[in-house]
Amino acid sequence: MARLSLVLIAMVMLFGVKAYAEDLATPSLDDIDYPEEEAPSAKEVELGKVLFFDPRLSLNMKQSCGTCHNPDLGFGDGLATGLGTMGGGLGRNTPHIYNLAWNVTFFWDGRAGTLEEQALGPIQAAGEMNLPLEKLIPRLQAVKYYQDTFKAVYGDGINKANVGKAIASFERTLNAMNTPFDQYLAGDKMAMGPEAVRGLALFEGKANCVACHDGANFTDNSFHNIGLKGDDKGREGVAGGKDMRGAFKTPGLRNVIFTAPYMHDGSEGSLESVVQFYNRGGDQDTNKSSQIKKLNLTEQEVSDLVAFLGALTDPLEIKRPKIP
């Protein structure tokens, strides 16, 4: 069974095609695939949290991971497309980082295969935090807190692998697991209002959102061209194959109410406009996924779907750490 699952995940990552659909569910901490099969200690998570909010991780020390992934803005930045530490614009929307603990591929185009790899990517990316890792390590080694804590947590001290491990350990704790939807699944039929209940039926039925937004985290971890205008190659730029042109990763939907604007290009400013986009079957047909079709939803049905998306909300309170 495990061998079959690995084969199916490989198919998803390579071809963007999911061979099976998962029922909507509540995430389980038991299903997190921790490195070395061991959950991080509280000290490792705290170290990762401090690093996440430390502007030393950018070249000019003006930007931290938490600048773009701002907990007050749904771990996004509220912009259509992001800004780098030097002030330059980025080509894509800053994705939220809720429930990444269960993901198998990262970034809009899936270019990272682990959360540790993802954590290090923006730090060294020229357009983003713009800091080569060989320059980051001496910065951290000059800080006593980092000297002591890296040694205590990892034994071998500060190196780029351990920086990635620490940040990823913190990110794996950013989980929305007790939403009204989860309470509804657990048997509390009053947890969701009538609109949201109707929206759930539409999500799984007429609107067929579940074709891509399935499982416990409402993502198939795959890539689809949903009919957005633009010339961004998306997954094609990583995996090749013209069938992947304009295809982007299906984002998870937990806490989606906090993460506007939406889509890889930030072109939709509200959940209602997102649903209307799908309702009209996208905006262009070139290489568009066969899953994207006109839905013929009524205005009430659009409202019901938005109500259901709102029921996927479990706010996380993150207290920013003191930076050493």
Residues with a catalytic annotation lie at 128
- Terminal CA-to-CA distance of the chain, rounded, Å? 47
**In sequence order, what are the residues at sequence separation of 6 or more whose Cβ sits closer than 8 angstroms to the Cβ of residue 5?**
none
Closest by Cα among 252, 244, 251 to 288? 244
Count Cα atoms within 13 angstroms, Cβ side, for 306.
18
Angle ∠(268,274,278) on CA atoms, nearest 5: 125
Cα dist from 119 to 65, 69, 91, 186, 268, whole Å: 9, 12, 19, 34, 26
Closest by Cα among 35, 87, 37 to 62? 87
Tokens of 46: 């705290």
Tokens of 152: 């205590």
